[in-house]
Structure 1
Amino acid sequence: MPKVSNKGTQMPESPIRKLVPYAETAKKKGNKVYHLNIGQPDIKTPEVALEAIKNNHISILEYSHSAGFESYRVKLAESYRKNGVDVATENIIVTTGGSEALLFALGSTLDAGDEIIIPEPFYANYNGFSVASGVTVVPVISTIDEGFALPPIADFEKLITPRTKAILICNPGNPTGYLYTQEEINQLAELVKKHDLFLIADEVYREFTYDGDKHYSVMNVLGIEQHAIMIDSVSKRYSMCGARIGCLVSKNKEVIATAMKFAQARLSPPTFEQIASEAALDTPQSYFDEVINEYRERRDTLVKALNEIEGVTVAYPKGAFYCIARLPVDNADNFAQWLLESYDNNGETVMVAPAAGFYSTPGVGLNEIRIAYVLKKEDLIRSVAILKDALAVYNKQ
C-alpha cells in the first residue's frame, strides 16, 4: 500500500477544529454547545460589501490579475495611508486569505531547512504553514505570568543561527490578545537589521485595540523597509471570514516580485470576494466604533468572570478577541474532550481550544486554553458559569 508523505504525516492537527467530532456528537445528544474555540465573529458583515455582490451583474466570471484587481489594490493602499500605514499600490499582492499571504511570505524568504523564530504561543497554523514549506520553527517562549509580553531580545539573539532567515510575530496576538508596544516593535526592528533577517508581521487584528493603546505597524518603522513584510486579511476586520481575501505587503521589490511568481502559479484570487472586499473599504467609521466597543465590553465581561473562578489565571488581552486562561487541570486536551463527551449543565456545555496546540515546544501550555470572546455578553457569562461548574465536577473525579 503506498504511503503518504512525511510532510503530510508531520502536518499538525488544528487545536481549534480537532474537537469538532465531539461537539457534533454532543449536539446530536441534544446538548447546546457554546463555541469559545474559534474566532468566528458574530458581528454582521458590512452591508456595503454584501450589496456589492447582490447588485453585480457579471456575465463572465473571469480570472482576475494574479496580484488582485488593480482597482482594489489602489483603494487598499489609499485606505492604509488614511489609517497611518504608508504603502503604495505596487507594494501589495492580494491573496486567498491571510493564510495564502503567509505561505507566499515563507516561500519567498525561506528555503527548506531554514529557520524562523516565532514567539509562542502563536497562531497554530504557523506550525502547519512551516511544515508545508519545509521550514523549521524555532520558538521563543512568552509566558502567561508576564502577560505574554515580548520575550527579552537576548532570548531571540541566542537562537539565531546561520539558518535563521526571519522572525514572525502576530500583532495583536492570536491566541494571546497581546499588543506589542512601539518599544517592542523597535527592538525587533533593530534585531532584524543587525542580523539581516526578515520581520514578518501578521497584523490582521490591527483595529482591535481597546484601552487607548495604539497598534504600531512594522511598515512604519524607519530603516527596515527591506526587512518588513505585513500580512493582512478582511476576515476579522469586516467579519468576512468566508470571503478568503488577504494580502501580502512589502516595500522590498524583490520580495514582491518573488511572491508574484507564487501568485501566478495559483492563477488569481477569487473574483466576487474581491468585489466585496473592495466595497468593504467604504465601511463607515461608525461600524468600527460599535464593533470595538462591543468587543471591549465582551473582553471585560469574560475576564471578570474568569477571574472569579478559583485556580484560574487569565492573561489580560489588549487587542484582538482572544485570551489564554490557565486552568486547575493537568491536561486541557482531556478536559476539553470531556466537556463535550461526558459533561453537560442542564443540557449545555462549552467548546474550548486547548492551548498546547499553539506552542511548538513539547509539554508547554498543557493546562491552558484559548478562549475567543466572539459571543454576546450573556452567552459569555453563561459559558463561564458552565466552565466553573465543569471544573468542580472534573476535579472531583
Structure 2
Amino acid sequence: MNTSVSSLKEDLRTLGAIDVIANRAIALTRQCTGYLTSDQEEEGKEGEEREVDVHFMKLFRQLKLLENILCMSKGNQSYLTMFDGSIFISEISKFLVLLGDYLISKDLSTRHTFIVTETLLGTLRVFLNITHDNALASYRVGEQEKIIDSICNFTFKLAQSVPVIQQFDILVLCLSLLINLLEESSTNVQHMCSVFIDVASTSSNPYGDMLATQALVKLFLTHYERGESASVEVPTPTKQVISHESPAKSPKVRKDLTSTFTSRMKSGIQPVPKKMKERKEEKMEEDKAEDKEQDEEEEEEEEEEEEEEGNISFDPLIFKREDFDSALSQAGKHMEDSIISSYSAVLVALLIQNDSLPCHKSSGSTRSGLDSVQRILKFLSAMD
C-alpha cells in the first residue's frame, strides 16, 4: 500500500476519526432498524418511505468510509473489531440479519428496496474488509447470532430475486465473506455445514430445500458448466454485412493487343503485312464491343440484386459496434461465471480440508456426488 495512504489511515485512528464514523454508523443503523421493525412501514406511505431512504443513504455513505479505512489496514481492522467491546460488530451483524429478513419478504423491483439492498452490500463490504486475513475479526463476526445463516440465505435465496445489476455483487461478496470466516475458524466451518436453505426449490431458484453445502456444490456446477459452454460467436449482423458486400471483381481478361503494327520475329522487328493489320484492327473493334456488352450486363445484374434486397443499406460501423457490444457482454458473463465458480470451489475446498463436508446422496446414489467433488478438485488444480 502507498505509504502516504497507510499513514493517513493511521492518523484517522489515532486522532479519533474512526470512533466518530463508527458511532455515527451505529446511530444510523439503529434508526434504520427501528423502521424495519415497526408496523408503520407496512402501510407503505410514500412520504415516510422517502424519509427512510435518506437515512439508508446516509448509512451507506458511512459504511463506504469505513470500507476504505479498513482496506488493507491491520491496525484499523483490529481497532474496529474491539471498538467499545465489539459493539460495532454486534450492532452491524444484527442489522445485517434484519436486512436480509426484510428484503426476502419484499418486492425487490422498487426504488426503496434497491436502496436497502445497496445498504446491505455496503455492510457486507465492511465485514469483508474487517475479516480479511484477521482471525480475531473472523471469530467475532462468525459467533454473532444467525450471521452465517443469513449470509447463506443471501447467497442462495436473495441473490436469485434481486435485480440483475446487483446479483453478481451479492454472490461475490457473500462467497468472499464466507471464505474469510471459514478460513480462520473451524467453529464457523461446523456451523456452515448445519445451515439449511428453507425455501421451496423452483425453476427460478434451484437451491431450496437442501443444506447450504449441497447448494454450494450445485452453485459451483451451475456456473462452471455455464462458463465451459460459453463461446463467442460472430453475431448475425456481421455476417449480413459480409454477405452483402459487393464481391471483388476479378480483373477482366483482355486480349493482348500489343504489337498491333509490329510482330516480334527471331530476326528482329519487322513491319506487319497490311491484311494482317486490318484483321487485327477488326478484332480490336469486336473485343471492344464485347467488353461494352459485358459491362452493361454486369450493371443490370447489380441493379437487380439491389432491388431484391429491398434497397437496404448496411452500415458496417453500426453493425461492428453492435457485434463488439455483444461480444463484450458474453465475455462479461463468462468472467462472472468463472469468478463465482472459483469462489464456490474454494469454499468447498475449505470444507473438504477439515473433513467437514457431509456426504450427500443425490438421486439415490453417491456416484453424482463423487463426480461433483472430482470436478471441483480438477477445477482447483487448474487454478494453481
TM (normalized to structure 1)? 0.21
> Which structure shows the higher strand fraction?
1
More helix by share: 2
Higher relative contact order (CA 8 A, sep 6+): 1
TM-score (normalizing by structure 2): 0.22
